[in-house]
Amino acid sequence: MTTIQVRIDERVKRSAHRVLGALGLDMSTAIKLFLRQVSLRKGIPFRLLTENGLTLEEESAILRASREAKRGRNISSAMNSKEAIAHLHSL
């Protein structure tokens, strides 16, 4: 066995402790579960999301499209609701 020390924001620790307690887990067991899943899956065992609930790729694509639109690139003309729905169905 080995020991890991982690520095974490006190608010994050308290919040996680409450959630884990409600699930019947202590912090040590939860961290062991996480590390076992990382080992088994050979990566992070869940999707990593930004604070907006998007993946990094999705958020990057939206920001890139926004920058392009501000420069007048890759934009379409205004559509009414029927045209917009027809366009979405065509994709």
pTM: 0.60
pLDDT in tens, 42-52: 999 999 999 88
- What mean pLDDT comes out for the span 22-38? 97
Cα 66–60–57 angle (5° rounding)?
145
Higher pLDDT, 27 or 72: 27
Instruction: Give the confidence band of 39 by pLDDT, cuts at 50, 70, 90.
Output: very high
Do 57 and 63 touch, CB atoms closer than 8 A? no
Instruction: Give the confidence band of 87 by pLDDT, cuts at 50, 70, 90.
Output: confident
pLDDT for 9 equals: 97
